[in-house]
Chain A
Amino acid sequence: MPEMRFTKDHEWVRQDGDTVVIGITDHAQNALGDVVFVDLPEIGREVAEGEACAVVESVKAASDVYAPIAGKVVEVNAGLTESPALINSAPTGEGWFFRIEPKDPAAFAALLDETAYAALVESEA
């Protein structure tokens, strides 16, 4: 399994060749509750680091999903449109959101590692 990194906004980022795959963490999906809709970015969109580029809606509320790394959106998970509940059932697998071609390949290494993310979740509990 390739290494997974994290953001303080509870997204996970996985390196996959020249691109990174992004989704929300199990902690985030659990806090959101049952997801009923997801609004994904357009393919080809250039996003800045920290830019809101997707929205996830649970029964209760809407939440932004941010680009963890600057770059270009090259693919989105079309399966989520029909089955948004995948975000709850498989947050780090089939529930992925979108794929970015990073502007700076080194940006990935600057994200939180698993230990740092676990500490962040702990501190927010």
Chain B
Amino acid sequence: MAETGSLQETPLGGLHRALGGRMVGFAGYAMPVQYPAGIMAEHLHCRAAAALFDVSHMGQAELVGEGAAAALERVTPADVQGLKPGRQRYGLLMTPDGGIFDDFMVANLGDRLFLVANASRKHLDFPLIESVLPDGVTLRPLADRALLALQGPGVAAVVESLAPALAALSFMGVAEAEIGGIPVLASRSGYTGEDGFEISVAADRAEALAKLLLAQPGVQPAGLGARDSLRLEAGLCLYGNDIDETTSPVEAALVWSIGKRRRMAWDFQGAERVREDLANGPKRLRVGLRPEGRQPARGHTPIQAADGTPAGEVTSGGFGPSLKGPMAMGYVARPHAGDGTALELLVRGKALAARVAPTPFVPHRYKR
């Protein structure tokens, strides 16, 4: 069991313990990996009804001032200037060498940008962004806010009754609203592949909001364990596992997050490598993998071709409760990256047969 003594608490730490959450250390925070229902049940409940996750460990910030979007574009290839008010977009922060510094969400709130970054990287992301800001543009970390993720096909009905203003949002729409009289900033997005919302709320109102949401029909708490199996089924990357400073956006198959205008101008940090990878094709590619049978292959499992030649490595792997089978993603040399390619995963020294498979493993059900 992980020691949780020296870890930071989110505003919902007391609620997690009251709900029987099994607390573990994650990115310096004490977080519930699961509640008494267990990872499998929490995962399946999210796909069948609605699950509430505490993701308050993630970094929230506002970017304010004239030219904020243009400034942010110096470190991301996402089209931030073209983002319309009330819309959110997924983006990558880049290293000078064209590796991925972090992945993040950026929303246009009209008079400011709103950012959400990974817990494990926020202490690095915010200084990186600040380092490229001109006079008059300010980054304001929002350490006094919590973030809740309400995910699943049952969420639409819950939001319809509690916050009709939010019900009209489509996938990646953002709006300020009230839920049960509590002011929130909500985006129709998430990390599960399901319809749902990520809801930013003042830390001192977070527990009241969480309790209100948990009191709605069909809403159950879910922990980080289910969050991980849900995102892997949805084919979504976890920073530090599937993407890091060594992987380029092209290798990571995240070229879709690079704005069209940005691919003409190449005016972001690290553009040279991205340009070269696109022109010549990357040496390796991130792919989905489906092992045969029931045995999962975890992160760092070596991948080899059918003839025994080393072909790559698994970066995330586990068992998909909705898929009812094992699933993984990893990097393979480009000749092995085609869908259906037969490969072997070396699990504890034994070759486990697998095939390259398209992701998501479980179809997305976003509200378009």
Which A residues form the contact surface with B (CB < 8 A)? 31, 33-34, 36-37, 39, 55, 57-62, 81, 84, 124
Contacts and interface: CB of A to CB of B under 8 A. Distances in A.
Nearest to A81: B294
- From A31, A39, A59, A81, name the one whose CB has the most chain B CB atoms within 10 angstroms: A59
B60 interface: no
A31 B319 CA distance: 17
A33 B296 contact: no
B298 interface: yes
Contact of A59 (B1, B319, B348): B319
A61 B40 contact: no
A37 B39 contact: no
A86 to B, nearest CB: 14
Nearest to A60: B225
B296 A37 contact: yes
Which range contains the number of B residues in contact with the other chain?
Answer: 20 to 34
Contacts of B228: 60
A59 B294 contact: no
Contacts of B38: 33-34
A124 B1 contact: yes
B20 to A, nearest CB: 12
A33 B319 contact: no
7 contacts: A33-B39, A37-B294, A39-B348, A58-B39, A59-B229, A60-B39, A61-B298
Contacts of A37: 294-296, 319, 326
A61 B34 CA distance: 14
B298 A36 contact: no
Nearest to A31: B1
B321 interface: yes
B296 A57 contact: yes
A36 B319 contact: yes
Interface in B289-339: 294-296, 298, 318-319, 321, 326
A60 B43 CA distance: 12
Main secondary structure of the interface of A (DSSP, over half): mixed
A122 to B, nearest CB: 13
Contacts of A57: 295-296, 319
B40 A62 contact: no
Contacts of A59: 39-40, 43, 225, 229, 318-319, 321
A55 B352 CA distance: 15
Contacts of A34: 38-41, 321
A59 B318 CA distance: 6
B233 to A, nearest CB: 11
Q: Which residue, B41, B296, B321, has most C-beta atoms of chain A within 10 A?
A: B296
B294 A36 contact: yes
A60 B318 CA distance: 7
B297 to A, nearest CB: 10
Contacts of A31: 1
B296 A36 contact: yes
Contacts of A60: 33, 39, 225, 228, 318
A58 B225 CA distance: 11
A59 B294 CA distance: 11
Contacts of B39: 33-34, 58-60
A39 B319 contact: no
Contacts of A39: 295, 348
Interface string B32-51: 01100011110100000000
Contacts of B294: 36-37, 81, 84
B200 to A, nearest CB: 28
Contacts of B318: 59-60
Leading 3 A-B pairs by shortest Cβ distance: A34-B40, A36-B319, A59-B39
Interface in B212-253: 225, 228-229
